[in-house]
Chain A
Amino acid sequence: METFKLKIDDRQINAGGGDTVLQAALKAGIYIPNLCYDPRLAPYGGCRMCIVEIEGTRGFPAACTTRASDGMVVKTYGPQLDRLRLDTLELLLSDHPTDCLTCPGNQRCELQKVASFLGYNQRSLKPRKSDHPIDDSNPFFNLDRNYCVLCARCVRTCDEVTGINAIELINRGDESRVSTFAGSRLAESECRSCGECMVSCPVGAIHAKNSPVATEETATICPYCGVGCGIYLGTRQGKIVSVRGNEASPSNRGSLCVKGRFGINEFVHHSERLKSPRVKKEGGFESAEWEEALRIAGDKLSGYKPEEVAVIASAKATNEDNYVLQKFTRAVLGTNNIDHCARL
């Protein structure tokens, strides 16, 4: 990839071909306030927080929609830029509740981050009270439009990342809002509950119903299917409390489906989850060691003709495991009676 140099706030920065000014700055560790930017999405330029000054360019272009180029000289702060950003922030906050402590987005909120970075301390415009009902129809996350900043990250994610377009912006101007078709509740919409919108939301507008903060994270692979999505399991006091996609994983690049994102801790910690093989003895199941279980299974299977046996494979096993299972069924048991739960 072609690289070149540009200057941001008097620092010489290296940037690559497709980088925007914002990307180049963030990569170099220079923070420019931003809200509607998401690296997975096409540049949008809606929040106007990342405005900068560029030598030889009129006005205040947004860093997220401006391509970096060789020899560019960029200024990300200064008295006028700071004032303009504060004014924009003030406008955003005049449409936004200030009950940060009880907001589900607290501490993860990018609006908080921007406000504290800019040193926002005084409200001067009249706030607008909004009382959109909360859509809590989805089992995993809520949509609370009262916190929405209309950055459109959720709807763009639902379009550009998942391709489902269950949610979109409707109406225009001040009446714009995130909506499903004809304003139905999420549970009655095309939404597949993957939660990608929730991940992208910079504030508390789309938030998990239950999300204690994890104290530890472990990189692993989602156990649900053969795709093998990379995930981070967040744990706290020995229990899984969160799941997040691993952006570095080539199979999912950070994305997850509803099962991986919301379905792991429930089955892992389920009281009826089988953790060891079980053997039927005197009318009831009893836990057994693998050695004993395999021996009994082997003995019993040997007693049947091939056409008397059928095998069901599992989507939760890996591709490789499933391959071996079908090989075992056909070559060892001698039958083609094998199927898979994903077909059910």
Chain B
Amino acid sequence: MERILDKSSIDEVLKVYPARRDSLVRLLQAMQSKFGYLSEEVMLAVADYLNLSPSSVYSVATFYAQFKFKPAGRHCIKVCYGTACHVKGAGKVLTELERKLGIKKGETTPDREYTLETEACFGSCALAPLVMIDSEFYGRVTPDSAPDLIGGD
């Protein structure tokens, strides 16, 4: 993930997409994957590029759960909260991870190492409960095994 250094790194992303309204969501996704979150600076640049009002961009960005407005941690832990995972104890897994990291879901650890989130469903229900760390999936996680996924202590 790059920190925003100058306008040119934003422009690099912009120029990949045509300056049309229907590029908006894709552009926000591309910006987030490059910078980790949507800063005001980025949203203003997108608005300017697509000739939209900044609040229209903000309105769309806040509608979708994927977009973040604060920098996230280096690693992103997502606990699946789909039905099957729920039935098989995802709640306890989440509680255990919250305890271990000392943060609540949606938060980032003070050292910016981990962000803890829940996900609607990864669609791997047969292996519930499921946890995703960055792009790796872990199936049949238990409250006991969950802390080991993070390592340390």
Q: Is there a contact between chains A and B in the complex with CB atoms less than 8 Å apart?
A: yes
Which residues in A have some Cβ–Cβ distance to B below 8 Å?
159, 164-172, 179-182, 189-190
Among B14-22, B47-55, B84-92, B137-145, which stretch is in contact with chain A? B47-55
Residue of B nearest to A155 (CB): B59
Bound form: Cα–Cα A167–B57 in Å: 11
Please, which residues of chain A bring their CB within 8 A of the CB of B58? 168, 170, 179, 181-182
Is chain A's interface secondary structure helix, strand, loop, or mixed overall?
Answer: loop
Q: Is the CB of B63 within 8 A of A181?
A: no
Q: Majority SS of interface residues in chain B? A: helix
A182 to B39, CA, bound (A): 10
Q: Indicate whether B43 reaches chain A with its CB closer than 8 angstroms.
A: yes
**Is B56 in the interface zone, CB < 8 Å from A?**
yes
B55: chain A residues at CB < 8 Å are: 165-168, 170, 179-181, 189-190
For residue A164, which residues in chain B have a CB less than 8 angstroms away from its CB?
Answer: 53
Beyond the given pairs A168-B55, A179-B59, A190-B55, 5 more chain A to chain B contacts, judged by CB atoms under 8 angstroms and listed by A's residue number, are: A165-B56, A169-B59, A170-B59, A181-B58, A182-B40
Q: Which residues of B contact A168 (CB under 8 A)?
A: 53, 55-56, 58-59
**Residue contact A181 to B54, C-beta cutoff 8 Å:** yes
A171 and B62 contacting across the interface, CB-CB below 8 Å: yes
A138 to chain B, nearest CB (A): 15
Chain B residues, CB < 8 A from A159: 56
The 10 closest A-B pairs by CB, nearest first: A165-B53, A168-B59, A181-B54, A181-B55, A170-B62, A168-B55, A181-B58, A165-B56, A171-B62, A172-B63
Q: How far is the CB of A12 from chain B (nearest CB, A)?
A: 44
B residues whose Cβ falls under 8 Å from a Cβ of A? 40, 43-44, 52-59, 62-63
On chain B, the residues within 8 Å of A180 by CB distance are 55
From residue B149, how far is it (CB to closest CB) to chain A in Å? 31
Residues of B within 8 A of A182 (CB): 40, 43, 54, 58
12 contacts between A and B (CB under 8 A): A165-B53, A165-B56, A167-B55, A168-B53, A168-B55, A170-B59, A170-B62, A171-B62, A171-B63, A172-B63, A179-B59, A181-B55
Complex: how many Å from CA A190 to CA B57? 13
B contact residues around A166 at 8 Å (CB):
53, 55
In angstroms, Cα B54 to Cα A166, docked, is 8
Closest chain A residue, CB of each to CB of B40: A182
Closest B residue, CB atoms, query A182: B40
Q: Once bound together, how far apart are the Cα atoms of A191 and B52, in whole Å?
A: 14
CB-nearest residue of chain A relative to B60?
Answer: A168
Instruction: Give B58's nearest chain A residue, CB to CB.
Output: A181
Contacts of B40 in A (CB 8 A): 181-182
